Structure formats: C-alpha cells, structure tokens
Structure 1
Amino acid sequence: MRLRWFGHACFMITSSSSGVKILTDPFDETVGYAVPSVKADIVTVSHDHFDHNNVKCVEGDPVVVKTPGKHEVKGIRIHGVATYHDAEAGRKRGRNVVFVADVDGLQVCHLGDLGHTLDPVKVGEIGHVDVLMVPVGGNFTIDAEAATKVVDALKPAVVIPMHYKTPALAFPIDPVDKFLADKDNIVRTNSVSLELSAQDIPEERTVYVLSYE
C-alpha cells in the first residue's frame, strides 16, 4: 500500500495488490496547498466543509463515500463511524465521519475532522487499526493532547499526523511539533509518500511525518 499526502487531511491511498485508489477529504484552492489534480476510484468525505469536500477536483468518475455504515467499492471494504466535528455533540460544527478501509490486509483509519476524544463504544465501532491518520492542530479539531488520547485508545502501529499548521496553510491551528513533543519513534520521511505492507508493519508504534508539495 502506498500513502501520499497532499496536505491538510487529503491523502491518496493506493492498493499495491489491486491498484484501487482512495482519495480522502480533498480541499479547495483557498486552503493554501496545491489542489490535487488526480484520478481516484473512491473519494471519502468526512464532512461537507470546503477544506474536505472538493470532489470536483478529482478526475474520472469516482464513487463518493460520505456516510456512516458499511460500504464496498471495487473490492475495498470501508466502514464509516459517526462522530462529531466538535466536543459539543455537533452543536458548533456538525457531524464528522471516521472511515476505516481494508487495504492490502491493513486497516487504515482516517479520522477526518474529529473534534472529541473517543469513548469505548466508538473505539469498538472503529475496531482494529493498523494505520491512523489523525488531526493534531486543534482549534477546529482535536489538539495535540486529545490526539494523543485518541491514538492511545485506538492503538495503531503507524500514526500519520495531519491537519496541522505549515507554511502553506492559512488556518490558525498548531504545528505538528506540539503533538510530537512527547512521542518516541518519530520518522521524518522528507517525502510526500510512504510505502507500507502487512509484512513490515512496525512492532513498536511509529509516527511518520510526511512532507507536502
């Protein structure tokens, strides 16, 4: 499986076995990063805000997945879990959907704009997670402290922080360093992409910091 980060909460997840491409939470031109111009088979949208739902930037005729529940597209099983974009049961920013995709034998979880920590019920609904993409910038999502609690609850082997302040991003959120401050096993890849397989998943939890273009 190959993961490529375009910035913010947008990743391309490509299956090594089938070649199926999943794009997560595409953003529009106001965010600050270069808008991805890519083909995808599946697009997941965690919530309908402009920095996560720019489906029109995707070439081809992708299947858009944006609801909780079980989905299967081109052999990829995805399940969505209903959560909130804030810590007030959605009263401030509405709903959010966490998606977990089974890709090449790995359970890949994208938290979208999760705005709260997870109780045992939600942890159970999400299930086993190998690879976790977690927002860490705060303000509009969970912050570094809450993100750490979510990571500890879900127990992934691979953690990929997202939705944090960079020189390209216009939003008033925290940089990734706050999240990394108390973490061990940090790998700064100096690359926009990461190759992973079920055979070489790290035994100890590892945080991978990706670059963007």
Structure 2
Amino acid sequence: MKIKWWGHSCFSIEINGIKILTDPYDDSLPYKKFDDYPDYVTVSHGHFDHNAVERVNGDFKVVDSEKGLKNDDLNIEALKSYHDSSKGKNRGENLIYLMEIGDYRICHLGDLGHLLAEKTINKIKNVDLLLIPVGGNYTIDAETAYKLTKKIEPKLIIPMHFKTDILDFPITGVEKFTDKFDEEEVNYVNESEINLGETENKQVIVLNYS
C-alpha cells in the first residue's frame, strides 16, 4: 500500500491498482495541486478545504454521502459524525470513511470535532491505517486525538490537518500530537509518499507535504 500526503487532509491511497484521493482542497490553500488520476474521491464535508472535486484530474467516482460505495473492488463505508463538539451546531456534519480494499482497512476521520461513541470506535477498531486530524480549533485537538488512538488501536497512524510552515490556519503543529508518544514510536519522513510496508515498525508516521 502506497500513501501520499498532498497536505491538510488530502491523501492519495493506492492499493491493488486502485487509487483513492481524500478531501481535495481548493486553490486558496498553499499546497500543490494534486496531479494524480484517482478512481475514487472521498469528501468528508462541504468546506472549501475538503471538497474541491473540480480540481481533480480524470474520470472518477465521488463518495460524499452516508451511502458510501461498494463494488467488487472495495467497500467504502461512511459513518456520520460532527465537525464540532455540539452535534454540528457550529460547523455541521462530518463523514468518517472506513475503506476496505483487499485485506486492508483504512479509516479517514475527516474533520472530526468530538470524541467518538463506543459503537463507532468498535466499528473502526484495529484498522491497518488511521488518518486523524490533530491540529485543534476546527477539529479535535492533539489530546483528544491521542485518546482516540488509544481507543481505536490502529496498526499505523498518520496525523493530518495540522499547521505547517506554509499554512497559516489557527491550528497547532503536529508536535503537540507526536510528543505524546515515545520517541521510538514516531517516524518523521522527509517525503510526501511512503510504502507502508517500509515503516520500520513505527506506529506514527509523519509525512512531509508534497
């Protein structure tokens, strides 16, 4: 499985010849425009930094509702959640995507803004890869993200939606999250793309934006 971080909550995930792009952002963000040609694009919610499907190349299917998507190649289950801790009163709803492709289970939490109920945690427990927001303000913060990882117990964690040297959003950097782990558990990768079969037995992988 290959995964590439474009920035923010946008990843390219490639497994068994299938490519998924998550939460594409519009051109107001300082990250590069994605040049992949995905088969599927997931949208966690309707905000400009997560739903710019018009910028994506090629012929693809959009998954942006609780219907999810299921076919012979994959199953993408959409789980309803909220963008804030007030059941969506402040920022609306958010979709968590549980993707099953072959033997892999991947969970993208979108702009999750609250702790999850045990029913949802049990649904995504022990996923192979958890993509989790950690920057706070618009999403869960580092402390809440850490608590969730301990409940979900994923094999691998890639943090997202945090402040970088080119993004001026009022959110915190990734270190507030990674500092909660032992040093030997975290691998800072100076690349945007990694083969998750080559992770040096680390639990947390921090990618560099494309």
Q: TM-score, normalised by structure 2?
A: 0.93
Give the 3 Å change call, closer, same or farther, for CA 48–74 of structure 1 in structure 2: farther
- After superposition, the C-alpha distances for 1:47-67 in whole angstroms (9 at most, x for unaligned) are 000000010111112100011
> Does structure 1 residue 207 correspond to structure 2 residue 207?
no
Q: Distance in 1 between matches of 2:37 and 2:72?
A: 15
What runs of 5+ residues in structure 1 fail to find an aligned partner? none
Is the deviation greater in 161-170 or in 137-146?
Answer: 161-170
| Root mean square deviation of aligned Cα | 1.7
Structure 2 CA distance, aligned partners of 1:190 and 1:14? 20
Give the Cα separation in 2 of the matches to 1:4 and 1:132.
14
For residues 168-194 of structure 1, the C-alpha deviation after alignment (integer angstroms, 9 at most, x for no partner) is: 112110000100112020001111112
Match of 1:151 in 2: 149
Where 2:149 maps in the other structure, the secondary structure is helix
Per the alignment, residue 140 of structure 1 pairs with 138
**Partner in structure 2 of residue 13 of structure 1:** 13
SS for the counterpart of 1:38 is coil
**1: distance between equivalents of 2:19 and 2:181?**
31
Runs of 4+ in 1 over 2 A off after TM superposition: 124-128
1:157–1:201 contact (8 Å) kept in structure 2: no
Question: Aligned residue pairs: how many?
Answer: 208
CA distance in 2, matches of 1:35, 1:208: 23
CA distance in 2, matches of 1:122, 1:147: 15
SS class of match (1:160): strand
**C-alpha distance in 2 between matches for 1:112 and 1:122:** 14
Distance 1:27 1:104 in 2: 28
Query: Quick one: distance in 2 between partners of 1:127 and 1:34?
Result: 32
Q: Identify if the C-alpha distance between structure 1 residues 70 and 50 changes in structure 2 by more than 3 Å, giving closer, same or farther.
A: closer
Amino acid at match of 1:211: N
* Equivalent in the alignment of 1:191: 191
Cα pair distance change 1:70/1:52, threshold 3 Å? closer
Looking at structure 2, the residues matched to 201 and 106 of structure 1 have their Cα atoms a distance apart, in angstroms, of 16
Aligned residue runs from structure 1 range 1-213, under 5 A = 1-15=1-15, 17=16, 19-73=17-71, 75-184=73-182, 185-197=185-197, 206-213=203-210
Change (3 A) 1:36 1:73: farther
Contact in 2 for aligned 1:81/1:125 (Cα 8 Å):
no
Identity over aligned residues, as a percent? 42
Contact 1:158–1:205 (CA under 8 A) maintained in structure 2: yes
1:62-108 Cα distance to aligned partner (Å, 9 max, x none):
10001124522461111110000000000000000000111341111
Which amino acid in the other structure matches residue 124 of structure 2? I
Q: Which amino acid in structure 2 is aligned with residue 212 of structure 1?
A: Y
**Aligned in 2, Cα 1:25/1:133: closer, same or farther, shift over 3 Å?**
same
Q: Which amino acid aligns with 1:189?
A: V
User: Residue 83 of structure 2 contacts residue 91 of structure 2 at CA under 8 Å; is this kept in 1?
Assistant: yes
Quote the Cα distance in structure 2 between the aligned partners of 1:183 and 1:114. 21
SS of corresponding position for 2:70: strand
Please tell me the residue identity of whatever aligns with 1:3.
I
